[in-house]
A and B are shown apart, each in its own frame.
Chain A
């Protein structure tokens, strides 16, 4: 019953919006605003085809590869910077500078250096996604509880054991905040990286449809992007709830008392 109720809440608003959209397109034949039925039909036609294998899957693959790399680099570098004072002092101004550079402007540069390739696109995604993870990891590592840290030290838990048993778990709620931001950035950068001088991919397809005035097809691409975003978000929530069960439980206990 409880599950049904939460499902009803989750799909309630989308259903209402679709009904409004359907009513608004009733009886009109606006070229730029297709009706829901036409969009669903186009969606199935366009994406349940070879295009899914040749364009959508590779795009998603690049995005996931980029995000995964960004998370790994972000956590590793964040741990090093968060625990080493001199490294922090040395890198902080440079990192602020690099972070301020919008990743899309690097695409032409990357194209010159790396050519138009998968790795160029992945590097673009990594460059954008790494910052939230990196900075949140640094914050999380620096905020490790002093008593917990002393406890670990008094039991001679040092080096890699300290990283594994103390630093990563206690920074993990903060790291997750960064990962969440990276996911949405990853989707944006996946599309943008395919809009310049590309010949395949989801972003490229959407641009292609737009330029050839295939408006329902363009909309179906945009809808697909939205669906991928929702999928990522659900996946994240699932993993987050599993990994941070202790954190949510602890907070619940604290709030109850």
Chain B
């Protein structure tokens, strides 16, 4: 039995999910998508959320982003209850082709949320330029999104999110629809942006390797109705490298552990302490 190690942290809690429950009502009967989810995200953490398909990842993200009302429980952003889409949060969706405004040029897409917040023009331009620079798209500000490749479109969506200066950035399987090489580049981009800007990121994915490679922490969801299956620390070096990090023995161990947990989740194995969800992530003991 691995010891439950509380990670000592003096960082304040940016996002707190408490007893979250979501039941979809339909004529055919109620479907319980999320049963009981509780976890905290300290400010500045990059956490990955993995789960088998149909584990309610998107439901959870929609509730956190305020786009969907949970059936029960509360979500706090900086201690304030979320009832609608909060200001200090940005979301990057999987479907990059459908999340950008096709009638606006790249820089207009990035600027629109700022314009809507009445950010003065000079400051707006500065933020947009910085964001496009940060995602490596400073050279295409006047293109339309549909003139760009899929990976570049997703970069635009990321630029729009970081220009908005959110405290919490939610990402819903953002790289699921891009090819493998682009995906590796975008993963490194996220690590880079996260380190530079000190954002709190909740990154939802179904890719086990990606979750271990990217995260400081991996939260594993059970199958539906969803509870937290496991919550582990990723004790890999801070500087991640596509080749080196992925060939570390520790990477393989962690990957193995997450994989096992997901397999258990698929077999409908519930964590023993589902009734008392873990309050903090734990270390995975060496094999």
Interface set of A (CB-CB < 8 Å, partner B): 145, 147-148, 150-151, 153-157, 161, 165-166, 169-170, 172, 246-247, 249-250, 253-254
Contact = CB atoms under 8 A, between A and B. Distances in A.
Interface string B59-94: 000100111000000000000000001010111010
Given A156-B85, A157-B113, A157-B116, A151 B99 contact: yes
B98 interface: yes
Contacts of A166: 101
Contacts of A148: 98-99, 101
A154 B161 CA distance: 10
A154 B112 contact: no
Name the residue in A145, A150, A247 with the highest tally of chain B Cβ atoms < 10 Å from its Cβ.
A150
Contact of A155 (B98, B102, B112, B144): B112
B146 A253 contact: yes
Nearest to A244: B103
A155 B164 contact: yes
Which of A154, A169, A170, A254 neighbours the largest number of chain B CB atoms within 10 Å of its CB? A154
A161 B101 CA distance: 13
Q: Which one of A148, A172, A247 has the greatest number of beta carbons of chain B within 10 Å? A: A148
Contact of A165 (B62, B89, B112, B160): B112
Contacts of B160: 155
B93 A151 contact: yes
A11 to B, nearest CB: 34
A154 B117 CA distance: 13
Given A154-B65, A165-B112, A145 B98 contact: yes
Contacts of B116: 155-157, 161, 165
B95 interface: yes
A247 B102 CA distance: 8
A161 B103 CA distance: 15
B147 interface: yes
A170 B147 CA distance: 18
Nearest to A254: B146
A151 B91 contact: yes
Interface in B128-168: 144, 146-147, 160, 164
A246 B85 contact: no
Contact of A154 (B90, B98, B103, B147): B90
Contacts, number: 65
Interface residues of B, number: 26
Nearest to A155: B113
Interface string B101-112: 111000000001
Contact of A246 (B98, B117, B144): B144
Given A155-B164, A170-B103, 12 more contacts: A147-B95, A151-B91, A151-B99, A153-B85, A154-B90, A156-B85, A157-B116, A165-B101, A169-B101, A246-B102, A246-B146, A250-B102
Contacts of A154: 65-67, 85, 89-91
B198 to A, nearest CB: 21
Which 6 A-B residue pairings sit nearest by Cβ, starting from the closest? A155-B113, A147-B98, A246-B103, A250-B146, A154-B91, A151-B99
A161 B95 CA distance: 23
B40 to A, nearest CB: 22
Contacts of A145: 98
A156 B87 CA distance: 7
A153 B66 CA distance: 9
A155 B100 CA distance: 12
Contacts of B100: 151
A157 B90 CA distance: 12
B99 A253 contact: no
A145 B113 CA distance: 18
Interface string B251-274: 000000000000000000000000
Contacts of A249: 144, 146-147
A147 B87 CA distance: 18
A147 B102 CA distance: 13
A232 B189 CA distance: 51
Contacts of B164: 155
Contacts of B62: 150
A147 B112 contact: no
Contacts of A151: 91, 93, 99-100
Contact of A153 (B67, B87, B102, B112): B67
Nearest to B114: A155
Nearest to B145: A250
B162 to A, nearest CB: 13
A254 B147 CA distance: 10
A160 to B, nearest CB: 10
A102 to B, nearest CB: 36
6 contacts: A148-B98, A154-B65, A155-B85, A161-B116, A169-B101, A249-B146
